[in-house]
Structure 1
Amino acid sequence: MNITARISQTPMSGYQWLIIALCTFMNCLDGFDVMAVAFTGPSVTEEFGLTGSQFGLLVSVGLIGMAIGSMLLAPFADLVGRRPLILLSLALGTIGMFGAAMAPSVTVMGVFRLVTGIGVGGILASTNVMASEFSNARNRGLAIGIYTAGYGIGATVASLVAKAAVGGDWRIVFYAGGFGTLLALVVIAAILPESVAFLEQKRPSGALARINRTLARMRMEVLTDTDLDQAAAARTGGERAASGWLKQRLPPTVLLWITFITIMFGFYFVNSWTPTLLVEEGLSEGAAVTAGMAISIGGTVGSILYGVAARMRTPRVVLIGFSLLSAAMMVVFILSTSTLWLGFGIGVVVGALINGCIAGAYTVGPALYPANIRSVGMGWALGMGRIGAILSPTVAGMLNDAGASATQLYVGAAMVVATCALVLVGLRRYDPDSSPAAKEELAV
């Protein structure tokens, strides 16, 4: 039995939950990064004299960087290890945040936003795999839900910093992000271990000792060289059999990409444009940040709620419900913001639901792939999902310049999110949790 299978069948230790917490901490950086540019949007637009399209492009530059990081940096995790790539990505994120804080022009800021995005993309692709690899089968959905909640936590912190900076210097928000990323770099360098699944597969110098140190902390039985040899022999046979297998997974792969694209379209629209649109609708900047903060607060609990629900029902079915409810509540939210307390309350619900959708995509996706190509499948799904994330603020900016109202933009984004439910219905025949035939196919 390989290490991944042993971990899947063994109760989780406190050390494994610590690793999940570290991955969650790093996911906070994604939430802080996206919301930093969203909450400072009105101030940045005023200082640099940006149009709606230009501001949308500034948001999209960071998301383009995330796509580059997810799709191009992530494969190096299989060559040099998860931990080195995470450390490199954190270093890039630190440079990008501080650079954006000191940028003298929107062009320079855009360059550093791209660097930050590349770093965040590398972090996300690696930490998503790490959180999955160190979780057992029973708690994987909950662990991914907790991991995804990191986005909402980071977004909430960004909103608090931005709210404190209202009327002051918007650059404070990016300085705070830089110091937070630097802190993460130090903590991860000191505590986070290398993936034991990576060490088992690649067996670099000292691999057995490093594996056994980690297994001992997880309160699991240590391995011998013979165990690694046997796992390698079994894995070699599986890799030969998988050479033509990826082509057979093309239909579910495309459906998964569309799922990520539609969810991320709505997710990044809500998180990137809400404060700016509400200011244009007549709310004060402070009130708009408060409404945006409500969405962030909801996001901190939404993914965990999804994880709990997914323990009781099929994850794909739960995700269908979350996507439909998200679309409906997005429309209700934009129609209720004139009453601040009501808009705040509904904003919490919207944040919970749309963030739960992200957790759902992270949970449903890995089950569609066998272990030996799961990282590649999810890495590309994350990268393709960024298409929706990139299109969302850009299209919204163009429509905003053309005269579209906040209500019209929100309804359009809600329709995109609702289409995710239709895609998930089509994914049923490939989902091992819903189809016995799919489960047997993956087991081959």
Structure 2
Amino acid sequence: MTLQERINQGHMSTYQWGIVLLVTSLNLLDGFDVLALAFTASAIKSSFGLSGVELGYLLSAGLIGMAVGSIVLAPIADTIGRRKLIIFSLLLSTIGMFGSAISMGVLSLGIARVITGLGVGGILVGTNVIVSEYASNKWRNLAISIFASGFGIGAMLGGIFAVALQGTYGWHSVFISGGILTLICLVAVIKWLPESIDFIVLKGGSKQQEQLESIANTLRITEPWTQESKDTSQKVQLPVSKLFSPEYRRPVFAIWIAFAAIMFSYYFVSSWTPALLKEVGMTTEQSVSVGMMISIGGTIGSLIFGVLASRFTARNVLIAFTIGSAIVASVFISVVSHLWIAIVLGICIGALMNGCISGLYAINPTLYEAGLRSTGVGIAIGVGRVGAILAPTIAGVLLDAGWEKQSLYMGAGVVMLVATAAVGVLKNK
């Protein structure tokens, strides 16, 4: 039995749960980054005199960086290792966050947002793979759901920091806080995060056995294990073209469509809801509070998904969550005449949509073999980011063209049903 098989079939050690918590803190950066800009959007719009379309472009800038980072940096992870990619990506994110903080114009802020997005995109590729490999079969779906819940926690922190800081210190201070958090995560990763076992095996070399034994000792695996030998002529990285082979074509296109549709809907709701609620009569504090409830709901939804996926198949739970998201999104803005209703629905829509993202993170790594895993995971996330990029910009264009707010949310519901159909194509996992 190989070391990876021992991990798959064994109990989760304290160190393994520590890895889950560490990568969760990295996913937190994604949520903080996206929602920090959403909650400071009004101040930035006023500061730079932006139109709705221009603000939409700025909201999309970081998402463009995330998409490029996921697609371009993912194959690098299959060459240099997941851990090294995460460290490099954290450096990019740190530079981008502090760059956002010192921006004095919309162009410099947009560039800083793209740099931050590049880093976040690379981080998600490596962390999604590592948490999947270091979790046991029994607890893998829950571990990935805890990882996915980091987005909601980070979004909530982004809201808290925005409310607490920007009134006194300006919107720049929110990004300074994000830069400090990113720097702390960088130090923690360098000290504690291990390399992917599958990557170590595929890479081979004279230090392979030593590295694996060190990991086994750290995980306190005392049972004997053997490591399968690999053909030394085998390339560590499989070509991207293999994703389009008959073996992969159907599940790959299905997961791409599901990612794009779910990310489109979620990023529209999370990015625009605070501003749209303010336009229907809520105060700034009330609209930000509802936005934070969406983030809190996202954290809860990820954990609920993990618990349900430990009892039922991840695919079936994901289908149920996409249908629920479509229903709640379709009625959201039309029934928020009272703050408490908006808060309840905000928690529900955040829980359902972020639960969907947890489901995608759980299913995605299982579709590929080891030499293609980071590439496949990263490109799927990158394609999903295309949906996330389009959502804020399209919403801004449609609003400027006179669309009703309710129509936008109903459109998001229809997009979630597209995701339902795509997930239905995947094998039951």
Could you tell me whether the CA contact under 8 Å between 1:216 and 1:222 is conserved in 2? no
Partner residue in 2 for 1:54: 54
Residue 261 of structure 2 aligns to a residue whose secondary structure is helix
Aligned pairs for 1:230-309 (under 5 A) are: 230-233=228-231, 247-248=245-246, 249-309=248-308
1:401 deviates by 1.0
- Residues of 2 paired with 1:245 and 1:267: CA distance? 26
- Residues of 1 paired with 2:243 and 2:407: CA distance? 44
Could you tell me whether the CA contact under 8 Å between 1:332 and 1:346 is conserved in 2? no
Shift in CA distance, 82/46, structure 1 to aligned 2, threshold 3 Å: same
Gaps of 5+ in 2: none
Deviation per residue, 1:300-328 (Å, 9 max, x gap):
11111011111222211111110110111
Q: Which amino acid aligns with 2:267?
A: Y
Partner residue in 2 for 1:213: 214
Matched, 1:115 2:103: no
- Residues of 2 paired with 1:375 and 1:212: CA distance? 23
Deviation per residue, 1:386-418 (Å, 9 max, x gap):
111111111001001112232221111121112
1:166 deviates by 5.2
- Residues of 2 paired with 1:36 and 1:326: CA distance? 24
Gaps of 5+ in 1: 434-444
Aligned pairs for 1:35-434 (under 5 A) are: 35-165=35-165, 167-168=167-168, 169-204=170-205, 206-221=207-222, 227-228=226-227, 230-233=228-231, 247-248=245-246, 249-427=248-426, 431-433=427-429
- Residues of 2 paired with 1:20 and 1:382: CA distance? 19
Moved more, 18-27 or 67-76: 67-76
With normalisation by structure 2, the TM-score equals 0.94
1:77 deviates by 1.4
1:165 deviates by 3.1
- Residues of 2 paired with 1:5 and 1:379: CA distance? 24
Shift in CA distance, 209/149, structure 1 to aligned 2, threshold 3 Å: same
1:385 deviates by 0.8
Shift in CA distance, 195/424, structure 1 to aligned 2, threshold 3 Å: closer
Moved more, 353-362 or 79-88: 79-88
Could you tell me whether the CA contact under 8 Å between 2:166 and 2:173 is conserved in 1? no
Could you tell me whether the CA contact under 8 Å between 1:278 and 1:406 is conserved in 2? no
Shift in CA distance, 52/205, structure 1 to aligned 2, threshold 3 Å: farther
- Residues of 1 paired with 2:201 and 2:408: CA distance? 49
Moved more, 275-284 or 44-53: 275-284
Moved more, 12-21 or 397-406: 397-406
Identity of aligned residues (%): 45
- Residues of 2 paired with 1:270 and 1:231: CA distance? 48
Moved more, 364-373 or 319-328: 364-373
Q: Which amino acid aligns with 1:272?
A: S
Could you tell me whether the CA contact under 8 Å between 1:212 and 1:223 is conserved in 2? no
CA RMSD of aligned residues (A): 2.2
Deviation per residue, 1:346-397 (Å, 9 max, x gap):
1111111110000011122233333443332222111111111111111001
Shift in CA distance, 237/35, structure 1 to aligned 2, threshold 3 Å: closer
- Residues of 2 paired with 1:41 and 1:359: CA distance? 27
Could you tell me whether the CA contact under 8 Å between 1:92 and 1:116 is conserved in 2? yes
- Residues of 1 paired with 2:89 and 2:194: CA distance? 16
Q: Which amino acid aligns with 2:208?
A: A
- Residues of 1 paired with 2:201 and 2:164: CA distance? 48
Shift in CA distance, 82/370, structure 1 to aligned 2, threshold 3 Å: closer
- Residues of 2 paired with 1:263 and 1:304: CA distance? 18
Residue 194 of structure 1 aligns to a residue whose secondary structure is coil
Moved more, 207-216 or 303-312: 207-216
Partner residue in 2 for 1:31: 31
Could you tell me whether the CA contact under 8 Å between 1:212 and 1:222 is conserved in 2? no
- Residues of 2 paired with 1:141 and 1:3: CA distance? 20
1:335 deviates by 2.2
1:287 deviates by 1.0
Count of equivalent residues: 426
- Residues of 2 paired with 1:75 and 1:360: CA distance? 23
Shift in CA distance, 103/321, structure 1 to aligned 2, threshold 3 Å: same
Residue 365 of structure 1 aligns to a residue whose secondary structure is helix
Q: Which amino acid aligns with 2:214?
A: R
Residue 229 of structure 2 aligns to a residue whose secondary structure is helix
Moved more, 316-325 or 409-418: 409-418
With normalisation by structure 1, the TM-score equals 0.91
Q: Which amino acid aligns with 1:193?
A: P
- Residues of 1 paired with 2:35 and 2:391: CA distance? 15
